[in-house]
Amino acid sequence: MPAAMFAALFFTVALLVTTAYFIMGSVPLLILKHDTPLDARFVRAFFNVYYKAAFITATATAVSYALAHRPGIAVGAAALALIAVVLRRKILPRMDSLGAQIQSNDLDAIPGFRKTHLAAIVINIAQLVAIVWCLVVLSRQASGL
């Protein structure tokens, strides 16, 4: 197996671990009441780290698959990197805005922050399902099933 394919497999696992880890870490954060600025800042910081890690691992995955001459998978991984950038630009400012409203004691901001938090989790779960589904399809194609 060429070195580029080993790198592709390594970065695929890194992408899966990153996505799964942050899903497992973000779901328990839903128990927070989100009623203090500290809660909002912590959740926002958590997702900021996730989006950066997702971008890095998805980009590395895309590059390694491109080098392994697997353009279809490379494009899919590049799409995940792009999604991470878009979500970071959409979700984090929304969390910042709602966090500021929570700080000014706007009680309507709390449900909005929780909905934003939940939406980010659902999107992450959808990404994980898509990654796993693609890997299953590809493994079946490779094995001739």
Please give the chain's pLDDT, 145 residues, in tens: 688 889 998 999 999 999 999 999 999 988 888 777 788 899 999 999 999 999 999 999 999 999 999 998 899 999 999 999 999 999 999 999 999 998 888 888 999 999 999 999 999 999 999 889 888 887 777 666 5
Q: What is the per-residue pLDDT for 144? A: 62
Residues in the chain: 145
Q: Where are the domains of the chain?
A: 3-143
Q: What is the per-residue pLDDT for 94? A: 96
CB 4 within 8 A of CB 64: yes
Residue by residue, DSSP assigns 64-108 as: HHHHTT-HHHHHHHHHHHHHHHHHHHHHHHHHHHHHHHHHTT-TT
Q: What is the per-residue pLDDT for 30? A: 87
CA distance 82 to 42: 24
Three-state SS at 107 = coil
Q: What is the per-residue pLDDT for 81? A: 96
